[in-house]
Amino acid sequence: MKKPVSISLSKFTESVQAAVKAASEKHSKFKLEAPNAISVSYLIRGIPVPEAIASQVTLAETQALANDIAGHLGAFAGEHGGERGGAVYSIGRHIIVGIPVLPEIIHLEQK
């Protein structure tokens, strides 16, 4: 089993914000605000897509956005983060895009 990894929560948050900004610029239908919090649930780490945006895009476009976010977060998404692709979780009227949870436990702390 791999050893747990410690990373800075502020650096992780900055990396997620940069990844979301870059992916949003590439996918013009997704005008997402930079997230200021990270949700850990539904077996992915991700951010919600506002319903007004989700109703205007296809699943393929949503998956492409998630893949770009995962690609930008390769170091945080695991050794093969970009290869594993992004995750899209939908329940009810909520869609969350992000990265699959790593099999290893990660300790996040603010520095």
pLDDT at 18 over 80: yes
Q: What is the DSSP string of 76-102?
A: TS-TTHHHH--EEEEETTEEEEEEEPP
SS3 (DSSP) at 69: helix
Q: Could you report the per-residue pLDDT of 28-86, keeping only the tens digit for each?
A: 899 888 877 666 554 667 889 999 999 999 999 999 999 998 888 876 655 544 456 88
pLDDT of residue 35: 79
